[in-house]
Every structure is written in structure tokens, then in C-alpha cells.
Amino acid sequence: MPSNKSVSDAPITQFVSCRILRDHRLQREDLWVREGTILDPEKLFFDEQGYADQRVDCEGGIVAPGFIDVQINGFHLEGPFISEEKKGAHPERYLRTFQSGGIGDLMETYGSLDNVAMVTLAPELPVSQSVVRELCQRGITVSLGHSVANLSQAEEAVQNGASFITHLFNAMLPFHHRDPGIVGLLTSDQVPAGRTVYYGMIADGIHTNPAALRIAHRAHPSGLVLVTDAIAAMGLPPGRHTLGQQVIEIQGLHAYVAGTKTLSGSIATMDMCVRHFRQASGCSIEAALEAASLHPAQLLGISHKKGNLDYGSDADLVLLDDALNVKATYISGEEVWRKGP
């Protein structure tokens, strides 16, 4: 009998025979979940004398926080206030610059900023620095990308609140030792104290060479955020497909703007990127998983609920084997996908 009447009598699930990612390491512990939230088992036992209503046998697997992809196309507003020179797959006729209106130009383009978590812009565009400030004041994460900014323009944007770099190395100036450009933010001494600049990397083995991935990771491991940059073609077979205003061509793991060799986002999945990142960087399993969970949650300011398996966090879980293949996924403690036999 629960000693406290206010305690929920909703069913409790106990994940057993697992290693859970908590406090930056895999720990042999069970995970307790009720009403979509991770429970503190000590409180459950001693305060409530609670017990599990059902058990999930993880068969020795890893339980990690649910992956968070901050760059999946159609979510995160990437452009159109970006550099013509580094437009990547973005059609040139739709690119825009800020007029004197600044944020007004954004509203005119997007219609509304409700439900917008992140905007990518090029900080060298006129008026962009005040747009960075205004967006950050509205709680929107500002990311720098598709840009020819030099390091001091990038640092100014960070001082104005920008906190992310969109697909590091792709669609920005290549690293130059006299002006390392946006890439230089990874080791900049102009980042305000207590702030972390995060950076997205498409670790699909195509968008970034493994050596570049290692350089970034070793220079600034705590800022690395794995992103897929996946377009709607993810999961489609090879050949030509029309997506919105563009025709793209899938060849193996590559998605090109049809008839060119310009990459049009990726068709990689997050678990593929986690495995590739681990292999390419030689990092620990914990570091690979945190780059897909904890770091993006910190970037978005939601790490009090997401991106970790702390007591009180949401029970969004990924069950994996030791080679980091996904065996099952859970949202709010409910199984939503399981790999077939």
C-alpha cells in the first residue's frame, strides 16, 4: 500500500538486465518508469513501497536516452537568410538578405515564429547581428551556417546569443590559419564564460571526412551534436525523386541535386551516424550516444527533461546492442518500435 495518498497508482515498468547511460557512463542498473517519467527507485521502495507492474527484459543491452535530431529538414528553419556563395542545395532565387526591418523580414518570410526552435542564418549579412539578438530573446536557438563569415563575425554572433553551428565544415569557408572562419569558434577565446558553442556534424561518412570529424571532436568534444540533415528521401530507393521544388537523385548513401554532384541533405539515419562517429573518432560508446542525446538537449535548453536518464526525465529510450544497432525505441515509456526477428 502506498504510504502517500497523492502517489500515482499508474502502472510501473521496470527495465531489467540492462546497462543504462547515466552520469556519462554505462551503469548496470534497472530503469523504473511510471507515467512516461523515470523514477527514483529508492523513493519508490522506501516512501511508497511500490513495485513493478511489468518488466521489460533488455537481454543485456544498452538503454540510452532517445536520440534528438536538431537538423532534420522541415523542422529547423535553415535559411533563406544565408550566403549566395555557400547556398549548397538551397535554390538561389529564394535566398534573401535582411532589409532594415531585420526581424520583420523573418516574419514576412516565415509567417510566424511560433513553434520555431532554431534558425540558421549567415552572420555576415547586414543587420543579421540584431536579428540574432532578437531571436535569442524570443528563446529561439540561432545557428550559424551557409556562410562566408570570418571568425570575428562569428564571435560577434555568439556574443549576441548564437549557440550552434550548422553542419560544421559544410557550406562555410574552409579552415584558414590566419582566419579560421566559423570553424574557429571551436577553440575561440571570445566565447562568453559559461557558454558552450555547439556544432552539428553530419557523420554519415559522406558529408565529412573522418579526419575532419576527429579534429572537431578532439578540439571540442562537449559541443559535438550529431545531426542527420536527412531529407524526406531518407528510406526511399535509389533513383530520381521530386521533393518540393527540387528533383533529387539517390545513389547509394548519397542524395544529389539531380544532374549535379551537389549534396542535397543526407539520407542517413541517426543510429547510422552514431555508429559511424564512434568508429571514425574512436570515442567511447557513452560519448557517441551523448552526441545524439545529451548535447542536442543542452543546445535546445531541454536537458532538464530530455537527453538523459536522470530521475524525473522523460522516459524516451533507445535500446541498443553493443555494436550500437537499435533493437527497440520507447516514447514516454511505451514501446513504439522493435526490430523484427
Q: What are the angstrom distances between the C-alpha of 123 and each of 153, 228, 336?
A: 6, 23, 40
Q: Which is nearer to Zn ion, 227 or 318 (CB)?
A: 227
Min CB(171)–Zn ion separation in Å = 5
- Smaller CB separation from Zn ion, 88 or 102: 88
- 80 vs 88 by CB, closer to Zn ion: 88
Backbone angles phi and psi of 89, in degrees to 5: -90, 0
Least CB distance from residue 142 to Zn ion, whole Å? 15
Catalytic residue among 69, 204, 229, 314: 229
Total site size for Zn ion, rule CB under 5 A: 1
CB 202 within 8 A of CB 273: yes
Task: Verify whether residue 229 is a known catalytic residue.
Answer: yes
Contacts of 167 (CB under 8 A, 6+ apart): 71, 145, 200, 201, 202, 207, 227, 229
* Number of other residues whose CB lies within 10 A of the CB of residue 41: 17
Closest distance to Zn ion from the beta carbon of 166 (Å): 6
User: Which of these segments, 33-41, 83-91, 197-205, 309-317, binds Zn ion (CB under 5 A)?
Assistant: 83-91
Query: Of all residues in this chain, which one has the CB nearest to Zn ion in the complex?
Result: 88
Given the rule CB under 5 A, which of 87-95, 198-206, 230-238, 324-332 is the region that contacts Zn ion? 87-95
Q: Is cis: bond before 80, omega within 30 of 0?
A: yes
Q: Specify the stretch interacting with Zn ion by CB under 5 A; choose among 3-11, 81-89, 134-142, 247-255.
A: 81-89
Q: Kindly tell me which of 183 and 283 has the beta carbon lying closer to Zn ion.
A: 183
C-alpha count within 13 angstroms, C-beta hemisphere, residue 16 = 9
Which letter does DSSP use for residue 174 in this model?
P
The residues binding Zn ion (CB under 5 A) are 88
> Active-site residues: which are they?
229
